[in-house]
A and B are shown apart, each in its own frame.
Chain A
Amino acid sequence: MNNLYLGLAIALAVTASSPRAAGQQPAAPATVGGCPAEPLAFHNCALEKAKTFQPPRTATGKPNLQGYYRNRLAQAFSVEGVSGSEPLVNDRIMPWTLAPPMIVDPPDRKIPYQPWAAPIGRIGENYSKYLDPRTACGSGGVPRLALQDPNQILQPSTDDYVLWLFEDHHVHRVISMNGRPPLGDAIKMTNGDSRGRWEGNTLVIDVTNLNGYTWFDDSGNFYTNAAHLVERLTLIDPDTIHYEVTVEDRQGYTRA
């Protein structure tokens, strides 16, 4: 395997009903779902918890992921994290917040860009020359929607689809669970084509047919239209989903 993948892990926690000023971000918690809030520590702890936690079930016996969620670990600025040496931390209008990387693999916790791609994605050309695709009412794409948007998971009783609705612009994902054939390669979409399956208690979603126009974060980190994403959603307690996405992109990334 000479194409590199990138693993991102976050926690999708049930939205608390405690009153909060509109638009205010929840304060970074010390622990989420009984695991440390630092993404890599959370990821390892969540993998352990998932081995023993028995999730609630739907009427048809599937793990019941339904509910309203929002991410509790990620920040919007950069999936590679924000360090004190980043000048934007001192931005006078919108200072970035110090944050650990959300990337859990590779071990250096950086996106393994090919040489041409790094100067575009890593607070590079995308950030300095182009508008964030979201500003023109575009969809955040995958996985940015899950990283940044309040969302709702619905599992219709027929088990042939899982619906993932996002607050932003009526954006929704229809995840086919009935093994339908993939789309032809020529059809490229902002949110791609999602086909899901259950592996034990984990909802595994293959995402293909991506148009490569979306970013991971506000700083312009990206994948190309050759990317293939595998998302894994696992409940680790009644209110917390461990969300992991592996990004393969032969065109944009390389195994170091």
Chain B
Amino acid sequence: MSPLISRGFGGRRRRDVDASRIPPGQYVTDDFPVLSAGPTPSGSLDTWTFSLTGAVDEPTSWSWEELLALPSEEIRTDIHCVTKWSKLDTAWRGVSVDILLEGVDTTADFVSAFCDGGYTTNLPFADVTDGQAWVAYEFDGGPLDPVHGGPARLLVPHLYFWKSAKWVQGLELLDHDEPGFWETNGYHNRGDPWKEQRYWSD
């Protein structure tokens, strides 16, 4: 179906952004909207942990201080939310999932990120390795705000941002795919913004 022309609609293209960086159906915003399914959790850093569980030779977990002691990197990236906004050149600091997986013996093909509050999201193992995913704890040079997923969130910027699970507490490594919260509520299983995989039938 060729798109219907909207009579009298001119649109307001942003001349100050490179259109090749904007996936289909997205628009660029300068602020940082918040989208979550429930209240923002308020956990203590003293009891915070990040764990690798499931199909691993031995489950591993890190305390907050242990996570901060791991080699971190600065990530400058564009992010794309399924609700249509994109934000360019966001600056994060976090630990690469590759570092967390170092020395872990696994045959997993998928992971399920699990979070404070019970949220889960599923990803192919291949989408969280090879420098594509981080556990991020700083945004714009400061601690990550709880409304944006602090103390730490997953950062998987090449997929729609619901995959970058807020308040992340670990990855369950799986030999099978296990659709997560939004994935069982009508959203796409993988969520590639460049293929506009927003909803289950896309």
Q: Do A and B bind each other?
A: no
Residues in A lying within 8 Å of B, measured CB to CB: none
Q: Which residues of B contact A (CB under 8 A)?
A: none
